[in-house]
C-alpha cells in the first residue's frame, strides 16, 4: 500500500500545483480525528512525511499489498471487498492507491440490493480503518440495509477502527482465527514545525477571525485551548464510536470502553462479543450458498441451536406461570388491604366517613344522599349557632375585662392572650393598661378629639411591632407586646387618643 500511496502522490502532483496539493493533503491527514490503528497512522507519516518536513526515519511502514475478492459473486452471495484505508469520497485512483471510499462501497451495496439474483451480501474486510467523516453514516446505512437483505462481514487479516465500526453493523460478523479485530478508539495527528521555522528564521503570521480558526496549524505548538479543542473532537468521535458498537453488537457501553482500543485475535474477539463465529472465507461462502446461516441476529455474537431454543422456551413458560401465580397473590393481598384495582391503576379505598345522629355514629355511605344532605345542613346550622354563641361570650368577657378598649380590639387581645403561655400575667398587665387608659381619657376629655384617630392607631401598632422585633417575639406574643407598650407614657397617650371616643 505504501508503494501505491507514493504512486498516487506522484500522479496527483503531475501538471498541478504541488504546494496547493500538499496543503490539501495536510488538511486530510492532520488535526482531525481518524478511526484507524496507530500503526496505520505511522505508515501514513512514513509515506507522506517528507512532503511536510517530517523525518521519515522515525517511522515505519506497517502495511502490505491487499489482495481481495474483487467483487466476487459466489452463488447467491455478492462479495464486496473493503480493503486498505477508508475515506469519505473516492476517485478513480481508489484501486491503485489502496483506498476504499464509503461512497463507492455504498454504491456497490445498493447495486447488490437491487439485484434479484443476490440473496446475501458479504463484506470481505481487510482494513486498518480510516477517516471519521462518512464512517458513521455508512455504518448506519448498512444497519438499515440488512433489513432488506442479510449483510455479513468477515475479518480477513484486519478489521480495525472504522473497518470494525462498519463490520459491527452487519447481520453477523465473522473472523478468521488469525484476524485482528477491534481497535475501538480514535487518533489524531498534529505536525509541529515551530522549531524548524525558528531554525530557518521563518515566522508565519496568521491574520484571522475566530479564536479557533487556525487552531492546530503546524507553525505553532499544540497546547492550551487549541489542544483542548482537538482533544474534544477526538472524545466526541470516540463517544459516537463506543455507542454505535454497543448498539450494533448488543454490548454494554462500558464493556466496549474497557477494551481501551485493544486489537484482539479471532477467538478472543468472539469471547468478548466483537464477532459471532470463527471460520474461513471459503467455508463461509459455502455456508451462505447452502442457506444454513440464520438471518436472525443474536446479541453479543451468541448463536443458539434448536435444542437450546426449545430449552429456553420451556424456561420462559415456567417463568411466566410463576409470574402469574405471584400476580394472583399480589392482587388478593391488595384487595384484602382495602385497595381498588382498575384499568387506571391501583388506588387505596378512602377511609369511611361518619356523621352523628341520635347519639350514634353512622357511616355516610349507608345513608341516602337526600337524607345525608339534610343532616349535613343541620350540622352546619348547629355549627354556626355554636360560633355565634361563642362570639357573644367573648364579647361579654371583653366588655367586662377591658371596658375602656374598643370591643373588637379587646376581643382580639383576649384571643391572643388565650394562646399565650403566661396568660394570667398578661391579663393583669392588660387590665392595668385599661385602668391607665381610663385615667388618661378623663385627663384629656372627650372634647380633645383632634381627628388623628387613624394616625394614632398606626403609631400604636408601629410601637407594638417594634417592641416585638426588638425582643424577638412572634405573633402569638402580640398581647404581651401590647401590654408592654401600654405601660409606657407614650403608649398610654396613644391608647387614650384611639379609644377615648368609644
Can you give the pLDDT at residue 176?
94
Can you give the pLDDT at residue 169?
95
- Write the CB contacts of 306 (distance below 8 Å, at least 6 apart in sequence): none
Can you give the pLDDT at residue 380?
74
Residue (of 189, 105, 91) closest to 139 by Cα position: 105
Can you give the pLDDT at residue 9?
43
Host H or E run for residue 389: helix 369-401
Per-residue b/e over 81-93, b at no fewer than 16 CB within 10 Å? bbbbbbbbebeee
Report if pTM > 0.75.
no
Q: Mapping DSSP to helix (H, G, I), strand (E, B) and coil, where does residue 350 land?
A: coil
Which domains, from first to last, does the chain contain? 73-188+250-299 (3.90.226.10), 355-395 (no CATH), 402-499 (no CATH)
Max CA-CA distance within the chain?
A: 125
- Write the CB contacts of 226 (distance below 8 Å, at least 6 apart in sequence): 212, 215, 216, 220
Cα 448-453-456 angle, rounded to 5 deg: 100
- Write the CB contacts of 27 (distance below 8 Å, at least 6 apart in sequence): none
Cα 99-100-102 angle, rounded to 5 deg: 140
Measure the CA–CA gap between 118 and 99, rounded to whole angstroms: 25
Report residue 347 CA to chain centroid gap: 32
- Write the CB contacts of 155 (distance below 8 Å, at least 6 apart in sequence): 125, 126, 167, 173, 174, 175, 176, 179, 180, 181, 266, 269, 275
**C-beta of residue 184 within 8 angstroms of C-beta of residue 269:** no
What stretches of 13-134 show up as alpha helix (H) in DSSP?
A: 18-29, 38-48, 94-97, 102-114
Per-residue b/e over 173-197, b at no fewer than 16 CB within 10 Å? bbbbeebbbbbbbbbbbebebeeeb
Residue 163 CA: distances (Å) to CA of 56, 159, 176: 27, 5, 15
Residue (of 188, 206, 189) closest to 197 by Cα position: 206
Residue 476 CA: distances (Å) to CA of 66, 415, 420, 430, 482: 92, 10, 7, 15, 11
Q: Mapping DSSP to helix (H, G, I), strand (E, B) and coil, where does residue 147 land?
A: coil
- Write the CB contacts of 138 (distance below 8 Å, at least 6 apart in sequence): 102, 105, 106, 166
Segments of the chain with pLDDT less than 50 = 1-27, 29, 31-32, 34, 36, 41, 44-49, 56-70, 92-97, 295-304, 445-453, 501-502
C-alpha cell at 318: 415456567
Query: Which residue in this structure is represented by grid cell 394614632?
Result: 456
Residue 185 CA: distances (Å) to CA of 95, 113, 127, 168, 404: 26, 31, 15, 14, 91
Residue 188 CA: distances (Å) to CA of 248, 351, 369, 475: 25, 69, 80, 70
Amino acid at each position: 500500500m505504501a508503494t501505491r500511496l507514493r504512486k498516487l502522490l506522484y500522479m496527483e502532483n503531475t501538471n498541478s500545483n504541488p504546494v496547493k496539493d500538499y496543503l490539501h493533503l495536510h488538511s486530510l491527514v492532520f488535526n482531525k480525528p481518524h478511526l484507524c490503528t496507530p500503526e496505520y497512522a505511522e505508515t501514513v507519516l512514513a509515506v507522506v512525511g517528507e512532503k511536510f518536513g517530517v523525518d521519515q526515519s522515525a517511522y515505519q511502514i506497517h502495511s502490505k499489498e491487499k489482495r481481495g475478492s474483487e467483487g466476487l459473486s459466489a452463488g447467491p452471495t455478492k462479495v464486496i471487498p473493503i480493503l486498505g484505508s477508508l475515506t469519505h469520497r473516492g476517485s478513480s485512483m481508489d484501486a491503485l492507491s489502496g483506498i476504499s471510499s464509503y461512497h463507492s462501497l455504498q454504491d456497490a451495496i445498493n447495486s447488490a440490493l437491487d439485484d434479484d439474483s443476490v440473496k446475501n451480501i458479504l463484506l470481505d474486510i481487510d482494513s486498518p480503518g480510516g477517516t471519521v467523516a462518512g464512517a458513521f453514516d455508512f455504518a448506519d446505512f448498512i444497519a438499515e440495509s440488512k433489513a432488506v437483505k442479510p449483510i455479513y462481514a468477515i475479518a480477513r487479516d484486519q478489521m480495525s477502527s472504522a473497518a470494525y465500526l462498519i463490520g459491527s453493523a452487519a447481520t453477523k460478523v465473522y473472523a478468521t482465527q488469525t484476524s485482528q479485530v477491534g481497535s475501538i478508539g480514535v487518533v489524531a495527528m498534529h505536525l509541529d514545525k515551530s522549531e524548524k521555522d525558528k531554525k530557518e528564521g521563518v515566522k508565519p503570521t496568521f491574520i484571522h477571525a475566530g479564536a479557533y480558526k487556525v487552531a492546530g496549524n503546524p507553525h505553532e505548538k499544540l497546547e492550551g485551548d487549541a489542544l483542548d479543542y482537538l482533544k474534544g473532537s477526538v472524545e466526541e468521535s470516540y463517544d459516537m464510536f463506543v455507542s454505535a458498537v454497543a448498539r450494533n453488537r448488543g454490548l454494554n457501553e462500558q464493556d466496549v470502553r474497557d477494551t481501551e482500543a485493544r486489537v484482539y485475535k479471532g477467538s478472543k474477539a468472539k469471547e468478548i462479543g466483537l464477532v459471532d463465529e470463527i471460520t474461513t472465507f471459503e467455508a463461509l461462502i459455502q455456508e451462505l450458498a447452502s442457506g444454513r446461516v440464520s438471518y436472525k441476529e443474536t446479541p453479543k455474537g451468541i448463536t443458539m441451536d434448536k435444542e437450546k431454543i426449545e430449552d429456553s422456551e420451556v424456561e420462559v413458560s415456567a417463568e411466566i406461570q410463576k409470574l402469574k401465580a405471584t400476580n394472583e397473590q399480589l392482587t388478593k393481598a391488595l384487595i384484602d388491604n382495602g385497595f381498588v384495582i382498575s384499568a387506571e391503576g391501583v388506588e387505596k379505598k378512602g377511609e369511611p366517613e361518619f356523621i352523628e345522629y341520635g347519639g350514634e355514629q353512622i357511616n355516610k355511605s349507608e345513608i341516602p344522599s337526600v337524607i345525608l344532605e339534610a343532616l349535613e345542613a343541620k350540622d352546619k346550622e348547629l355549627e354556626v349557632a355554636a360560633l355565634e354563641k361563642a362570639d357573644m361570650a367573648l364579647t361579654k368577657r371583653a366588655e367586662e375585662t377591658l371596658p375602656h378598649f374598643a370591643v373588637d380590639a379587646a376581643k382580639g387581645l383576649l384571643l391572643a392572650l388565650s394562646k399565650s403561655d403566661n396568660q394570667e400575667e398578661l391579663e393583669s398587665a392588660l387590665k392595668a393598661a385599661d385602668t391607665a387608659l381610663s385615667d388618661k381619657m378623663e385627663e384629656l376629655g372627650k372634647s380633645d378629639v383632634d381627628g388623628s384617630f387613624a394616625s394614632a392607631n398606626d403609631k400604636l401598632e408601629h410601637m407594638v411591632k417594634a417592641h416585638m422585633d426588638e425582643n424577638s417575639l412572634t405573633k402569638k406574643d402580640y398581647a404581651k407586646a401590647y401590654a408592654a407598650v401600654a405601660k409606657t407614657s407614650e403608649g398610654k397617650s396613644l391608647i387614650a387618643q384611639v379609644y377615648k371616643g368609644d
